[in-house]
Amino acid sequence: MTSATRFPRIALVGRHATPGIGAPLAVLADFLISRGHRVVVDAATAQHASLSGYAAAAPETFAAAIDLAVVLGGDGTMLSLARQLAPFDVPLVGVNQGRLGFLTDIPVREMTATLAAMLDGRYVEQRRTMLKVAVERPDGRSDLGLALNDVVVNRGSIGSMIECAVAIDGRFGYAMRADGIIVATPTGSTAYALSAGGPILAPQLASLLLVPVAPHALTHRPIVIADDASIAVTVIHGRDAAAHCDGQGRFALAAGDRVVVERADHRARLLYPEGHDDFATLREKLHWTATPEELRKGGG
């Protein structure tokens, strides 16, 4: 099977704020076209990158009509696209144009050589758990969201700690005063949850992570639970509180609102180069093998 047969239709999406992103996007588009793929560029990406001469469309238009999406950007761009494409079972490949890049781990300088091998079938696939969230209001209204990394309930910029009650599978777990609480997937365990003191979970684990953010009682600790659990966070008190999906979608919260988080019905499909090693990624991104002197030399 040729690469064009395996992935005949490929979408390109770039991180809008990256200076000069039009050049690598054009290189990548020409590379894919030369191999026989049909290429569509995200319309917003094409506009911000001043990229013309290629078919352009918005993700909501091309989501059901592509076989692969390649993201040039950081993890934020990857998260946004994953939420849009996961319901259509479209796999994603990430080229790192951002900073840390746990999800977008292919260096831009190696993108054509790496993608050539992957398009020839030399890749590994990981299916990552996603979260669906329902924000339920006392008057019966509700808002729905989706997340790959995490759902966070936290205080606003003008308020003090929030008070909330956490229930798991309909059973009361605990109440607490804190800056917030994070419900994270294994993918999200290396994001905000890690900064808040949570453990790193291997991507293949069928589990979710509950991490309190700056709790008033220091006995509140992170908890790992099964990923088929239903988690409900009810706001008891909190000025300007909100729920966030992947740090991008926001829902304002008031006392009495309930945020219900469950495993989504679909998962994100991520493709990595052959030989990909999650622990090697952690060593590289978190500088586990570097001495303080090496970090200073490298600007880390």
Hey, what are 164's tokens? Answer: 């909330």
Q: Is the dihedral of CA 260, 263, 266, 269 positive or negative?
A: positive
Q: Please name which of 180, 165, 163, 176 lies closest in space to residue 242, comparing C-alpha atoms.
A: 180
Active site positions, annotated: 75
Hey, what are 193's tokens? Answer: 């949850």
Q: Are 10 and 70 in contact (CB under 8 A)?
A: yes
161 Cα distance to chain centroid? 26
Interhelix angle 22-34/111-119, rounded to 10 degrees, is 30
C-alpha distances out from residue 289 to 103, 196, 295, 297, Å: 20, 22, 10, 14
